[in-house]
Amino acid sequence: MAMKLGIITDPDVESAKWAADKGLHYLEYCYNGGADIDILAARVPALKKAYADYDLHLGALGRWNEKKIAPDGTFLEEGLQNTKRLIDIAAELGAPVFNTGVNYVDELTYLDNLNASVNFLRTVVDYGKEKGVKVAVYNCDWGGNFIRDPATWRIVLEAVPELGIKFDPSHCINVHHGDYLAEIREFGDRIYHFHVKGTLNIAGDHVDDPPAGLDGTNWNAVFGLLYAQGYDGMLSIEPHSRTWEGDMGDWGVDYTIQYISNMLYKG
């Protein structure tokens, strides 16, 4: 069982080389709402060449902050088609996971929102299965996503058995103030992708998101649980702080690579 350490980067050749120069072999792209999918599609040949040149793999592609459900509970066609196009690109680039969310609609009841989300996610999971790409929901609220916590997962993941979770402990801590270790224990077998992002909270107040290893997350316990659950997917480093930018941010990435690498079984 080998987890794969990588990093979120921009989808371009320069960023691929930067990651490779740091000794990483896995990338993630977060191609969020508003980003032109035609631009990404045009870069596919150059990206595939860069992966071959630098011994890289795309571990996941995702799109945050795009609405999928209309006020009447039907699918928004643009959101559905963008999702399918990105799954196509994920398949072409060899990414095993596509990360997405589903927005809450105020005009609908909670139950109707759950039903609409299940219908949408069944559709994209089935489409991804045809392309060899698994689909996961992210545990963040950006874009109005509400399939992000145990209350919704217990319902939606049962209704869509092949759906997974993109898990980030910092969102559990900062978004719905949950117990990230308990969530990994309960849902570890459904985690398809994992973000390594530090976060620091003091006396209940969010202070900063420093590099993982310089924050308040119990990473040793996190990795003990991931091993116990048999997780062997990507660990995606996510730099996420305006404090840690420039040379300091670059050093922070190096620190996290070394810190997390020390917890990875090499056998």
Q: pLDDT tens across 60-105, in order?
A: 999 999 999 999 999 999 999 999 999 999 999 999 999 999 999 9
pLDDT band at 1 (very low <50, low <70, confident <90, very high): low
Q: Give me the percent of the chain exceeding a pLDDT of 70.
A: 100
E-state strands within the chain:
4-8, 26-30, 57-62, 97-100, 134-138, 164-167, 191-196, 200-202, 205-208, 234-237
CB 51 within 8 A of CB 17: no
CB 109 within 8 A of CB 77: no
pLDDT of 144 over the 80 cut = yes
Q: pLDDT tens across 188-212, in order?
A: 999 999 999 999 999 989 999 999 9
pLDDT for the residue 69: 98
How many CB atoms lie under 10 A from the CB of residue 124?
24
E-state strands within 31-101:
57-62, 97-100
pLDDT of 173 over the 70 cut = yes
Domains of the chain, earliest start first: 4-261 (3.20.20.150)
pLDDT of 225 over the 80 cut = yes
pLDDT for the residue 32: 97
pLDDT band at 267 (very low <50, low <70, confident <90, very high): confident
* Dihedral over Cα of 30, 34, 37, 38: its sign: negative
pLDDT for the residue 266: 86
pLDDT for the residue 80: 98
Rounded average pLDDT over 148-172: 98
Residue, of 176 and 30, whose pLDDT is higher: 30
Rounded average pLDDT over 120-141: 98
